[in-house]
Amino acid sequence: MCGIVGYVGPRESVPILIEGLRKLEYRGYDSAGVAVHEKGETRVVRCQGKLANLEKQLTVTKLTGSVGIGHTRWATHGRPSETNAHPHRVGGVSVVHNGIIENHMILRQRLMATGRKFSSETDTEIVAHLVDAELKAGVKDLGDAVRNALKQVEGAYALVVLSDSHPDRLVCAKVASPMVLGVGEGENFVASDIPAILSHTRNMIFLEDGQVAELTAQRIAITDLAGRPMSPPVKSVVWNSTQAEKNGFKHFMLKEIHEQPRAVTDTLRGRIELEQHDALLDEVQLDPATIKKIIIVACGTSNHAGMVGKFMIEQLARIPVECDLASEFRYRDPIVGPGDLVIAVSQSGETADTLAAVKEAKAKGARILSIANVVDSSIPRASDGALYTHAGPEIGVASTKAFTTQLIALALIALHLGRKNGKLSKEAAKQFIDELLQLPIKMKEVADQAAPLQVLARRYGNARDFLFLGRGINHPIALEGALKLKEISYIHAEGYSAGEMKHGPIALIDEHMPVVVIAPKGPGYEKVMSNLTEVKAREGKIIAIATRGDQEIGSIADEVILIPECASVLSPLLTVVPLQLLSYYVADFKGTDVDQPRNLAKSVTVE
């Protein structure tokens, strides 16, 4: 998500920090900052916006010193602003952090009760307070202070701490967020990603979860959270800088497909209440008693997420949901007003059509909730409440991890509404939560099936058209599969409800037409099977996405890709992954520009 760089050695740190942050720019960010030790005191310079702003600021406030940390922030808690930018400084302690502190609300209240004051809206500032409190309480060693502080913290973090009291060192730690140490000669480095430090050293230590590292110019000492010494291996990195940016993947899209288990975990983080079997969505304050109906507005892939959301909300909370293409919404004089909840789904938060739909609904008196990945973007700002997905920046133009995290956000809304209006029993909610929490592992299992999908891409990659079929909650996934294939491989593809096939598209089917069928076990399975016999009778080539253990499908489909069993209402989170991979491998086989397909933009700010 955000970028971290740290340096300790004999050289001036600021140019090294800026150069490192620049190498991480491709990941996207909305503010930046550095902190440098200078004659017994740490000085911090931060600013909103691009690194160029920071550099300009650094020509006014000159920082010199050979121990420093730098950060580019992609906002998750708190708006993008200078006060929310990292490093956060409390007392003599400065901290940069990637990730999400799950128990930030409790810790903040606890710290405030001891008289501590906060100057930002971030969860990161809490860590700076905790470390400062340890040092003020008499802990002598900075490593001990950080370990003690982290014992109170739940969540995901990669962080680096700099303290006036220990001017020769950096202390770093990580849980569930990447962090790499660069081993130099008489100097050492730390970063959230390899490219940031690759020009200085190829010798790297990849910190493991729960490890804490203390870096001085001459040595690196690593312990676990209990202070026991650890010695992870030093590895030599052979990637060039472009490979390193993509974490070794050929394209950002492929990297982002594989990031989905992590992204989904981050979106769920801190939002499940295990005792009441509910979703914790304090940021949006939903009360089903005041909601007559829900209207979801969105475009493209986000619209497909909305269509899945309709099934989820109607099933779990029994509240009627309509889905509208944002580009159509305001032109049809929609029946919307007080008592309606409009949910705007947008990865970028900037899509002009979705923003216009939000304004239209607001003007007519509806309450607006947005689901977005970019904090403080235009759509959340125009809404009454925003639920942010924590997918991290998505660079590939074709949306993948933004989509699956939108599905998670919608699932949490459905769960919360169902619990609040009593339509979802404790037992059913418990089961739903269990299934939600298992998704990241299951998604990884599906994403790891690259080889068979590569074979399929080569086998069918020269087809002129593709048909995608699905029913019920997997109908939107058929639409999404077709959209993905179209946008990156330029093959014409149509998504259809399987039941609609006989009303038209069946005329297209012959031996040249690959038909991708989403057929997980669950409601509608038998119906899909009978649609398949119709395809088979016309010699269409069937590629089925089916549930592991399905004995029937192999007798009719030409190709079968298996997914693990899961609750039907969450199956889109698994069925979409092979479709993303299939599109990716077809596009790669055809040699198109996967990450920047022709005529498409990441953020569509024109109507």
What positions carry a catalytic annotation? 2, 602
Packing angle of the helix pair 300-317, 401-420 (nearest 10 deg): 20
Q: Does 398 bind ligand F6R (CB under 6 A)?
A: yes
**66 contributes a contact to ligand F6R by CB under 6 A:** no
405 binds ligand F6R (CB under 6 A): no
Least distance to ligand F6R from the beta carbon of 604, Å?
5
Q: Does 370 bind ligand F6R (CB under 6 A)?
A: no
Q: Toward ligand F6R, which CB reaches closer, 483 or 545?
A: 483
Q: Which residues contact 500 (CB under 8 A, 6 or more apart)?
A: none
Using the rule CB under 6 A, which residue among 2, 58, 67, 299 binds ligand F6R?
299
Tokens of 436: 């939600």
CB of 285 to ligand F6R, least distance (A): 23
Binding span for ligand F6R by CB under 6 A among 136-144, 300-308, 516-524, 564-572: 300-308
* Among 120, 267, 348, 389, contact with ligand F6R (rule: CB under 6 A): 348
Q: Put the strands of the sheet holding 67-73 in their side by side order.
A: 41-48, 31-38, 67-73, 3-8, 188-191, 180-183, 203-206, 235-236
C-alpha–C-alpha distance, residues 180 and 176, integer Å: 13
CA-closest candidate to residue 360, choices 335, 381, 377: 335
Smaller CB distance to ligand F6R: residue 149 or 398?
398
Q: Is 399 in the site for ligand F6R (CB under 6 A)?
A: yes
- List CB contacts of 427: < 8 A, sequence separation 6 or more: none
Q: What is the chain's alpha carbon radius of gyration, rounded to the nearest angstrom? A: 25
Instruction: By CB under 6 A, tell whether 260 contacts ligand F6R.
Output: no
Name the residue among 349, 375, 400, 398 with its Cα closest to residue 74: 375
CA neighbor of 84 nearest in space, from 393, 391, 376, 370: 376
> Which member of 42, 354, 489, 547 binds ligand F6R (CB under 6 A)?
354
Query: If binding is defined by CB under 6 A, does position 347 make contact with ligand F6R?
Result: yes
Shortest spacing between CB 224 and ligand F6R, in angstroms: 41
Q: Which residue is nearest to ligand F6R (CB)?
A: 300
Binding status of residue 410 toward ligand F6R by CB under 6 A? no
Q: Which of 351, 405, 547, 583 binds ligand F6R (CB under 6 A)?
A: 351
- Helix (H) or strand (E) run with residue 56 in it: helix 51-60
Q: Which is nearer to ligand F6R, 120 or 583 (CB)?
A: 583
Return the number of other C-beta atoms located less than 10 Å from residue 592's C-beta: 17
Least separation in angstroms between residue 495's CB and ligand F6R is 13
Judged by CB under 6 A, the stretch of 109-117, 129-137, 265-273, 344-352 that binds ligand F6R is: 344-352
302 binds ligand F6R (CB under 6 A): yes
Any idea of the CA torsion for 187, 188, 191, 194, to the nearest 10 degrees?
A: 90
Residue 604 makes contact with ligand F6R by CB under 6 A: yes
Q: Interface with ligand F6R by CB under 6 A: which range of 3-11, 296-304, 427-435, 580-588? A: 296-304
Judging by DSSP bridges, how do beta strands 41-48 and 31-38 pair with one another? antiparallel
> Considering beta carbons, is residue 136 or 492 the nearer one to ligand F6R?
492
Q: How far is the C-alpha of 328 from the C-alpha of 81, rounded, in Å?
A: 34
Pick 446 or 594: Cβ nearer ligand F6R: 594
Nearest distance from C-beta of residue 383 to ligand F6R, angstroms:
13
The answer to whether 89 and 124 have CB atoms below 8 angstroms apart is no
Contact between 327 and ligand F6R by CB under 6 A: the answer reads no
User: Which CB sits closer to ligand F6R, 172 or 485?
Assistant: 485
Q: Are 167 and 197 in contact (CB under 8 A)?
A: no
Separation CA 202–CA 186 (nearest Å): 15
Residues 477-496 that bind ligand F6R (CB under 6 A): 483, 487
Cα 282 to Cα 28, 140, 271, 374, 393, distances in angstroms:
27, 38, 9, 19, 24
For ligand F6R, which is the closer residue by CB, 239 or 249? 249
Q: Which is nearer to ligand F6R, 398 or 482 (CB)?
A: 398
The residue range among 9-17, 106-114, 226-234, 341-349 that interacts with ligand F6R, by the rule CB under 6 A, is: 341-349
The three-class DSSP label of residue 298 is strand
What distance in Å separates the CA atoms of residue 500 and residue 481, rounded to the nearest whole number? Answer: 17
- Using CB under 6 A as the binding rule, whether residue 13 contacts ligand F6R is answered as no
Residues that bind ligand F6R (CB under 6 A): 299-302, 346-348, 351, 354, 398-399, 483, 487, 603-604
